Amino acid sequence: MTRMHAGILVTAAALAFSLGTALAAPPRAHDTQGRQFDARHGHDRYYPPRGALVPALPDGYRHYRHGGSSYFMQGGVWYAPRGPRFVVVAPPVGLFVGVLPMFHTTLWFGGIPYYYADDVYYRWRPDLGGYAVVDPPGTEDSTPPPTGTDDLFVYPKNGQSQAQQSADRYECHSWARGQTGFDPTEPRGGVPASETASRRSDYLRAMTACLEARGYSVR
């Protein structure tokens, strides 16, 4: 091997090592703009901290009103007026939005889809045709069923939109709950402990049948 070839190999190895180290490095708690890293639920995005003041709203914001107050949302970040400026806030529970943040993480708790971004949880409201800000769903599943999980892996076969998928899943959940008497959002499914396993199986079969009839692959 010539000295030139050896030098090239050493340089390539050093470059590969440095790239591997950079890729393996954990994300910083704050970026260069002072935004905080949100790693909840694998969301993995940076957001400005609550209480941060900004002189003007970012482009592309949406304006909402709730309880007589104005709120503005852009990119999953919520703002409220503060004198001549705006402050980053948490939106109130119950605030209704027609569109989810572009970057959100879909979660399933007890067979119900939740949507997460910047420490805010949303749920689909089929009666309103949009989404409502809700409390974190962890308390609803504080007593999980004794066997496994009620999650189903559902894939749209006909290009259904995210909103349509949420509506279909919610309606199938309501139908399956009515057919079987089992509600995965309740402790032990809301049935006697001796019936939990069998009722849960019935519920999952009903959910699967309903979703497959609507054009989904379920496993």
pTM, rounded to two decimals: 0.55
pLDDT band at 1, cuts 50/70/90? low
Q: Distance between CA atoms of 54 and 51, rounded to whole angstroms?
A: 10
More confident residue, 99 or 22: 99
The whole-number pLDDT of residue 110 equals 73
The whole-number pLDDT of residue 185 equals 62
SS3 192: coil
pLDDT tens profile 66-75: 999 999 999 9
Answer left, alpha or beta for residue 67, where phi above 0 means left and psi between -120 and 50 means alpha. Answer: left
Looking at the chain, the whole-number percentage of residues with pLDDT higher than 70 is 78
- Per-residue 3-state assignment (H helix, E strand, C coil) for 86-97: EEEECCCCCCEE
The whole-number pLDDT of residue 57 equals 97
Find the mean pLDDT for residues 27-46: 82
pLDDT band at 168, cuts 50/70/90? confident
Q: Distance between CA atoms of 157 and 66, rounded to whole angstroms?
A: 37
Rounded to whole angstroms, what are the CA distances from 217 to 63, 112, 151, 168, 209? 37, 17, 14, 13, 10
Rounded to whole angstroms, what are the CA distances from 7 to 11, 14, 20? 6, 11, 20
pLDDT tens profile 135-160: 998 654 433 333 333 456 778 888 88
Rounded mean pLDDT of the chain?
80
Q: What is the dihedral of CA 97, 139, 118, 131, to 10 degrees?
A: -10
Is the Cβ–Cβ distance between 119 and 93 less than 8 Å? no
Find the mean pLDDT for residues 111-125: 89
Instruction: Give phi and psi for 2, each to the nearest 5.
Output: -75, 165
More confident residue, 173 or 93: 93
